[in-house]
Amino acid sequence: MDCDFAGCAIEQGPNVGRIDRWELWKPTSKEPRWLLLSGASDPPSGVTISDRRTRNETPGVRSGTFLAGVTSDLANMERTVGTYLFNTVKDLYLTKSAASGHIKNLFDVCKDEPVKPMLYYTGHGEKGTGNWCFKDGKISIQEIIDMLPIGTYYPMIFSDACYSGHWANFCVQKNIPGFHCLAACPEYSKAIDTGRFIIWLVLSMRMQERP
């Protein structure tokens, strides 16, 4: 069934979207390789973000709250992905160019091996786009696709950020086999830190994974 919007993973089965139940869910037959990436605690003033991890708190508490959130997220993900981890990047002042470099490195390794790139982000999401926020700018899902070398498996993206449903909808609309995004909330919502990753899943999953 064709659909313009991503649907809730819960409606698609008890294991769908649960990273901790990867062996039961089996979203890909390819060996995965994970990059875990945090955003910056204080994006540029021109980037509109939510108050999930707000920059309007008192100095010291602000960065501490953000750090506690991303530290917990990344630690949980490291335990879950285990030996399939490629790299973890936690930097409260991470720049867009540095983040892009880490993503490109993941893609290069995944092309050479070859394995399936899995890209997880925790941090601020831009209102209206769900774009990932860094110290000096933001990264869109289109920019991530543009980084992908020819002949590499399309990535599966896990966006643990506010308004990340925009990215899941993007994947549904593009309808590229093997290219999917799981998001922490719908496109109009803020993500809530609950201690576990609640995700929304694109509806159209296909087995073909090469560009």
Q: What is the pLDDT of residues 134-165, one digit of tens each?
A: 999 999 999 999 999 999 999 999 999 989 98
Using pLDDT thresholds of 50, 70 and 90, give the confidence band for residue 203. Answer: very low
Residue 59: partners with Cβ closer than 8 Å, 6 or more residues away: none
Whole-model pTM? 0.84
Place of tokens 């803020």: 190
Structure tokens at 52: 């999930």
The CATH code that applies to domain 7-201 is: 3.40.50
Residue 184: what pLDDT? 84
Confidence of residue 14 (pLDDT cuts 50, 70, 90): confident
pLDDT surpasses 70 at 58: no
Cα–Cα distance for residue pair 72/45, rounded to 1 Å: 26
Residue 95 has pLDDT above 90, yes or no: yes
The pLDDT of residue 173 is above 50: yes
Tokens 């605690």 appear where?
41
Question: 183 pLDDT band (50/70/90 cuts)?
Answer: confident
> Higher-confidence residue: 175 or 211?
175
**The pLDDT of residue 4:** 61
For 15, residues 6+ apart whose C-beta sits below 8 A from its C-beta are 21, 24, 25
Q: How far apart are CA 119 and CA 112, in angstroms?
A: 17
Residue 61, pLDDT score? 45
Q: pLDDT at residue 208 above 70?
A: no
Q: Which helix (H) or strand (E) holds 142?
A: helix 141-147
